[in-house]
Amino acid sequence: MGDLPVILVVDDQATIRMLARDFLSLQGLEVVTAANVAEGLALAARIRPSLVLLDLTLPGVTPEDAVTRMTATGLPVVLMSGRADEEVDRLRARARGFLAKPFTLAGLAAIVGAEIVSVPTRVPAGAVPA
């Protein structure tokens, strides 16, 4: 990955992954996508993205497990869901942000922009931060 912030989008819906990838790429960000938690965790370990957008309803894993496993990486995670219930409210408290689905492009840009600004800049080993 280059010097641009990298966003990892984990969602089982191909249209959501493509929409987020295409739109965020136009905003000058690098975007990688995963269709499930296992693939997302493997990518997260390899590329260490600046932000993870994580859908709460992924196949083969409970929302609780998805959030636990992804937040355990230490990466900032924004949850995405069309659900509105007590479980979602509880899980939202463990994430950096929440994006209600269906989302608008403006909403996607706002939450990603806010999180990218708040994520510390990665400094190469041995470099002195300015």
> Where exactly are the structural domains of the chain?
6-118
Residue 12 has pLDDT above 50, yes or no: yes
Per-residue pLDDT tens for 109-126?
Answer: 999 999 886 544 443 444
Distance CA 105, CA 92 (A): 21
- The CATH number of domain 6-118, selected from 3.10.20.740, 1.10.3720.10, 3.30.60.50, 3.40.50.2300: 3.40.50.2300
Indicate the SS3 state at residue 1: coil
Q: Give the integer Cα–Cα distance in Å for 110 and 50.
A: 15
The DSSP-derived string for 70-115 is: HHTTT--EEEEES--SHHHHHHHTTSSEEEESS--HHHHHHHHHHH
pTM of the model: 0.86
Total residue length of the chain: 130
pLDDT tens digits, 42-95:
999 999 999 999 999 999 999 999 999 999 999 999 999 998 888 888 898 889
Residues 6+ apart with CB under 8 A from 1: 30, 47
- Per-position DSSP letters for 16-33, written without gaps between them: HHHHHHHHHHHTT-EEEE
